[in-house]
């Protein structure tokens, strides 16, 4: 595939889906800024990904929060200084916790909405402003979730944030299309990442997920990364404003009740 540009910013790229997305883009020739909250993780990832390409593409690390305007601007300035105006952006950074609405601390709500919804807004804004000023086309991919449409108890903040991401994707696609900037989203199902480890993949919980997934397996980070690379390429040049489910068909049957399954497991 021919990517739209030769450099990218990938948020939350230190591990999991973000790391694999960065790797895929580099395999297709893009230099990548690894935008990650943890500086040590960012630096290690950038070093390892750069070593894999044998000099064909570079990764550089940048530590900061996607929910902080100054950090976002600094990240895009660093990417521009290193590679030129980045034409590709993947808004992957995310965070989640579980709590019923009546018990949820306001701080938990704020954190999830800040990272999962405000982050894509700030990064999209920063990317679009620079692309428009430079007169360059671009592609932006937002990582949403099956939870943008399928609700489950205990994840009110996460479901709300991911629904916001998919609606934001549509508006951004409409506004930025005249500037030749496409904006799409990916809605993964349960994927093997550090965020999903620690109970979601094991035992009764894992069995429930598999039962609701027609293709009968969990997702792997590369399942998401391949679609992200496609949406960043010329091959998807007539696609904008879409939220693409990459979930083995999980959206067909919807989600089981995570909270009830976890509660049953704890009682047992």
Mean pLDDT, rounded, of the chain: 93
Query: CA 228, CA 24: separation in Å to the nearest integer?
Result: 9
Q: pLDDT at position 234, please?
A: 98
- Please give the pLDDT value at position 99: 94
pLDDT at 127 over 50: yes
Mean pLDDT of 77-95: 98
Q: Indicate the domain borders of the chain.
A: 7-267
Rounded CA-CA distance 84/218 in Å is 37
The contacts of residue 124 (CB under 8 Å, 6+ apart) are 89, 91, 140, 142, 168, 172, 183
- Asked if residues 12 and 67 have their Cβ atoms less than 8 Å apart, the reply is no
Q: Give the span between the Cα atoms of 65 and 79, in whole angstroms.
A: 15
3-state secondary structure of 37: coil
Active site residues: 158
| Residue 263, pLDDT score | 73
| Domain spanning 7-267: CATH superfamily | NAD(P)-binding Rossmann-like Domain (3.40.50.720)
DSSP symbols for 105-160: -HHHHHHHHIIIIIHHHHHHHHHHHHHHHHT--EEEEEE--GGGTS--TT-HHHHH
**For the chain, first and last CA: distance in Å?**
50
Q: Tell me, what's the pLDDT at 268?
A: 42
Average pLDDT over residues 107-127: 98
pTM: 0.94
**What does the block give as tokens for 14?**
């230190």
DSSP state of 64: -
Answer for the pair 186, 94: CB distance below 8 angstroms, yes or no. Answer: no
- pLDDT of residue 194 exceeding 80, the answer is no
- 216-267 tens-digit pLDDT: 888 899 999 999 999 999 999 999 999 999 998 888 877 778 678 777 744 4
């Amino acid at each position: 595939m021919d990517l739209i540009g030769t450099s990218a910013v990938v948020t939350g790229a230190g591990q999991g889906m973000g790391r694999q997305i960065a790797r895929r883009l580099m395999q297709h020739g893009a230099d990548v800024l690894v935008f990650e909250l943890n500086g040590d993780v960012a630096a290690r990832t950038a070093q390892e990904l750069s070593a894999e390409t044998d000099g064909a593409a570079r990764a550089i690390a940048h530590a900061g929060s996607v929910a902080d305007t100054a950090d976002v601007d600094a990240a895009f300035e660093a990417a521009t200084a290193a590679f030129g105006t980045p034409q590709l952006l993947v808004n992957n950074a995310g965070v989640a916790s579980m709590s019923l609405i009546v018990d949820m601390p306001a701080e938990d709500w704020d954190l999830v909405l800040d990272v999962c919804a405000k982050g894509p807004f700030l990064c999209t804004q920063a990317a679009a402003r620079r692309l428009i000023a430079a007169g360059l086309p671009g592609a932006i991919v937002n990582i949403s979730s099956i939870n943008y449409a399928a609700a489950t108890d205990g994840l009110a903040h996460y479901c709300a944030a991911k629904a916001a991401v998919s609606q934001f994707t549509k508006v951004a696609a409409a506004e930025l299309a005249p500037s030749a900037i496409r904006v799409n989203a990916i809605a993964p199902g349960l994927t093997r990442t550090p965020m999903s480890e620690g109970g979601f993949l094991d035992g009764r919980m894992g069995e429930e997920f598999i039962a609701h997934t027609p293709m009968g397996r969990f997702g792997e980070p590369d399942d998401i990364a391949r679609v992200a690379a496609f949406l960043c390429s010329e091959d998807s040049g007539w696609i904008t404003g879409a939220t693409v489910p990459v979930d083995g068909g999980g959206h067909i049957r919807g989600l089981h009740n995570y909270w009830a399954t976890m509660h049953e497991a704890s009682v047992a």
